[in-house]
């Protein structure tokens, strides 16, 4: 690995006026100095844009992209990614915070990892409240802040399919070449992470840093908060995106074990859609279960 590779942090902001300055400062105050920061405001309706412009008076060299309409996470990220020059990429929400040694730890992990096809490095995260007070850890830890349950590393594809908490998306650093190869985020989806981790883990290895490297803020109006709303238009878009991701995942599978792993996720999605009263997607996900049943009976997994 070349010494001191450039890291691009893409900070996406939508109505995060109260938190964006802390997030941006956490990037420019990293112990690792070779960082390119790109900021995107996704047509915020609060004072986020004005707040960022004011902050940029002391940081005029930083690229700031202002969307003229609300594009959403996937399109906004891809728009910024076109300008990225770093060898590694961090996708940072404007209400989350990088701990001081976050980037240095990730670069070190890429440099020292034993995995030859390494595409993604991630770590643990502190969960904090809207006011910044500590809540818990994304992965439970012991007194030494080491994870209690060892994380699966290397080929984590099967684990990504079956386990909602297979990795901590917000703490990830991704090789730019991986994003280039996979064409960035799928812009047809309402959210980015599950689809990207499924596609990335099919082709690349993942490694884990056993320490908290960033802070993820728990906010009332986040995208994740919409996952469990009944008869909500945004929740329905999220659920439909999950259905599309699982449908794509089936086509990526190469073994019965992988089909069983995604079957578990589909079952959970069926129950989730029932709770959300999204009955149309209940039937669509049941169709995926039928496809898996037919594959189990007729598919020759030795044929690529």
277: confidence class by pLDDT, cuts 50, 70, 90? confident
Q: What is the pLDDT of residue 220?
A: 79
Name the residue with higher pLDDT: 217 or 233: 217
Q: How far is 151 from 257, CA to CA, in rounded Å?
A: 19
Q: Is the pLDDT of residue 210 over 60?
A: yes
The answer to which of 12-16, 56-60, 182-186, 230-234 has the lowest mean pLDDT is 230-234
- pTM here is 0.93
In tens, the pLDDT along 151-166 reads 999 999 999 999 888 9
> Are 173 and 121 in contact, with CB atoms under 8 Å apart?
yes
Average pLDDT over every residue of 21-32: 98
Which residues lie across from 1 on neighbouring strands?
A: none
Q: What is the dihedral of CA 13, 71, 86, 64, to 10 degrees?
A: -50
Q: Domain residues of the chain, as ranges? A: 7-217, 224-298
> Are 204 and 120 in contact, with CB atoms under 8 Å apart?
yes
Q: Is the pLDDT of residue 234 over 60?
A: yes
Q: How far is 270 from 99, CA to CA, in rounded Å?
A: 37
- What architecture is domain 7-217? Alpha-Beta Complex (3.90)
State percent of the chain over pLDDT 90: 87
Q: What is the pLDDT of residue 222?
A: 57
Kindly state the helix (H) or strand (E) to which residue 37 belongs, with its residue range: strand 35-41
221: confidence class by pLDDT, cuts 50, 70, 90? low
Q: Is the pLDDT of residue 287 over 90?
A: yes
Average pLDDT over every residue of 49-72: 97
Q: What is the pLDDT of residue 230?
A: 57
* DSSP string computed for 155-189: S-HHHHHH-TTSS-GGG-EEEHHHHHHHTSS-TTS
Average pLDDT of the chain is 93
Q: Is the pLDDT of residue 228 over 60?
A: no
- DSSP label of 146: -
């Amino acid at each position: 690995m070349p010494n001191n590779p450039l890291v691009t942090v893409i900070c996406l902001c939508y109505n995060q006026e109260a938190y964006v300055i802390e997030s941006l400062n956490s990037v420019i105050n990293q112990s690792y100095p070779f960082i390119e920061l790109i900021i995107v405001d996704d047509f915020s309706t609060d004072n986020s844009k004005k707040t960022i412009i004011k902050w940029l008076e002391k940081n005029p060299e930083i690229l700031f992209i202002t969307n003229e309409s609300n594009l959403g996470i996937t399109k906004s990220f891809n728009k910024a990614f076109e300008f990225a020059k770093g060898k590694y990429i961090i996708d940072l929400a404007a209400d989350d915070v990088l701990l001081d040694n976050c980037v240095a730890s990730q670069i070190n992990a890429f440099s020292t990892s034993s995995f030859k096809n390494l595409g993604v490095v991630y770590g643990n995260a502190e969960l904090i409240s809207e006011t910044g007070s500590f809540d818990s850890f994304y992965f439970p830890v012991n007194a030494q802040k080491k994870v209690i349950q060892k994380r699966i590393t290397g080929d984590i594809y099967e684990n990504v399919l079956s386990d909602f908490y297979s990795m901590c998306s917000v703490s990830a650093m991704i090789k730019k070449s991986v994003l280039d190869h996979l064409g960035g985020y799928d812009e047809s989806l309402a959210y980015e992470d599950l689809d990207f981790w499924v596609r990335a883990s099919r082709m690349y290895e993942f490694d884990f840093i056993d320490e908290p490297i960033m802070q993820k803020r728990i906010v009332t109006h986040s995208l994740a908060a919409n996952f469990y709303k009944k008869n909500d238009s945004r929740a329905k878009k999220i659920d439909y995106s999950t259905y599309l991701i699982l449908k794509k995942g089936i086509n990526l599978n190469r073994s019965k074990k992988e089909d069983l792993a995604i079957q578990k996720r589909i079952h959970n999605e069926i129950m989730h859609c029932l709770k959300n009263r999204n009955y149309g997607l209940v039937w669509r996900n049941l169709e995926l279960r039928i496809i898996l049943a037919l594959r189990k009976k007729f598919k020759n997994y030795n044929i690529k």
